[in-house]
Amino acid sequence: MSGRAKAWCVAGMAAVAMTAAQSGPLFAQSFVASPGQKQDIDLDSGDGNYSQWQHKDLRSLSAMKARIKVLRLGRDATYGPYFTVRVTAGGGYYGLRLQPASGASPPLTLKAYYREPQKPDIDVLTFKRTLALDEPVDVELFWKAGKLSVRVADEKGDIQLPKPVSAVGISSTTGEIEAEITIGNMR
C-alpha cells in the first residue's frame, strides 16, 4: 500500500471510530451540577390554565437535567393538556413537548420542537419513547455553539438556535407535571 493510500486508510478508520463513539452514550461529556441549581417543581394547572417556571440567571451554564413525571391530564374545550421542558433563545422556545397522542388520554408523545414568537410549534423529531401517567423519564437539554441537544432516555435530537440561551423552564397547560431539575454544565 502506498503512503498516500495508508494515510487515507488511517483517516477513514478515524472517521469510523468517531462515528462509533458518537453512537455510544449520547452525551459523552459528563454533567456537572452547579451549586444551588437544583429545583423541585410541581406545576398543577387547572383545566384551561397555563403555568410556567423559568430560570433566567444562567451565566455560563450550558445544560439542564430533569426527571419529569406527568401526574394528571385535565380536560378543556380550547386548551388540551400540554407540557414543555425548554430553553428560551431569541424570544422563541426550544426543547421537549409532551402531550397526549390523541385527545386527553395517555400515552403521552414526546417531541423535540421549537416555537418562534407568534407562530405555532414546529416539530423537529418525535421520540420513539412514550409516557404513561406517573411514569418518570429523564430528560437532558444541552446547548452550545447555536445548537440545542434534547435527550430523552437513549434518544437524542438536535435543534438549531437563533441566539444564545437566555432562560430554561418548564410549563404546564391543563394538567400537572412534576420535575426535579438540576442546572449545570457539560464537561
pLDDT tens-place string over residues 111-135: 999 999 999 999 999 999 999 999 9
Output the pLDDT for position 27.
Answer: 52
Could you tell me the sign of the dihedral formed by the alpha carbons of 71, 98, 55, 141, in that order? positive
Question: Which residue did the predictor score with more confidence, 106 or 29?
Answer: 106
Is the pLDDT assigned to residue 72 strictly greater than 60?
yes
Contact (Cβ atoms closer than 8 angstroms) between residue 136 and residue 41: no
pLDDT band at residue 28 under the 50/70/90 scheme? low
What region does 36 belong to: left with phi over 0, alpha with psi -120 to 50, or beta? left
Q: What is the structure's pLDDT at 187? A: 86
Out of 15-29, 34-48, 89-103, 173-187, which region has the weakest mean confidence (pLDDT)? 15-29
Give residue limits of the domains in the chain: 28-186
Hey, what's the cell of 107? 400515552
Supply the pLDDT for residue 14: 30
Question: Mean pLDDT across the stretch 158-169?
Answer: 96
Per-chain mean pLDDT for the chain: 86
What pLDDT score was predicted for residue 81?
A: 94
The gap from C-alpha 105 to its chain's centroid, in whole angstroms, comes to 22
The answer to whether the CB of 176 falls within 8 A of the CB of 69 is no
pLDDT (average), residues 9-25: 33
Nearest to 64 by CA among 29, 31, 91: 31
Range with top average pLDDT, 6-20, 59-73, 102-116: 59-73
Arch. (CATH architecture) of 28-186: Sandwich (2.60)
